Amino acid sequence: MVRKSMGLSVVIAGCALIFAGGLASAGEAPLAPVPAEYADKHMPAGGWTDAKAIEEGKKIYEGKAVNDVDCSACHGTDGKPKKKGARDLRDPKNASRYSDSYWFWRVSEGIPKTKMKANKAKLSEEQIWQVIAYQHMFSHDGKASEHSDYKP
């Protein structure tokens, strides 16, 4: 009797797993969790809309400020990806999924096994926030705005 019900719970657990897998693949894959060391990284106050910071961010993004950093080489000067596989950040469906910590983490560390390389050795934290604030405008008609469309 005990044996029988154990077998049954294994079957139920198996079904639940398959069902959960189906759900996950129906939508976008969930984003990787932000590592603990990046969880406290947040956009400085006013940073999303700071005109000066965004101006710096644009230079960095376009490869005009920092040696060996040129986001536009892959993500495109106008945000339209140039390199295959580069994320289209004009699409609010992408940008609105990223928390500020997530965005900062990805730009800092890059994404393993992709062309997206780490930038933390080349950019200061301030510069990373600047380039993020600039990149954020691609999903907002080229206008600076708060990251209020972020949906966790």
Q: Which residues bind ligand HEC (CB under 6 A)?
A: 69-71, 73-75, 83, 85-87, 103, 106-107, 111, 114-116, 119, 131, 135
Q: Tell me, rounded to whole angstroms, the distance of Cα 75 from its chain centroid.
A: 13
Q: Which is nearer to ligand HEC, 53 or 131 (CB)?
A: 131
CB 128 within 8 A of CB 119: yes
**Angle, vertex CA 141, rays to CA 136 and CA 147, nearest 5:** 35
Q: 84 vs 30, 80, 81, 87, 89, CA distance in Å?
A: 21, 11, 7, 9, 14
CB 42 within 8 A of CB 113: no
CB 72 within 8 A of CB 134: no
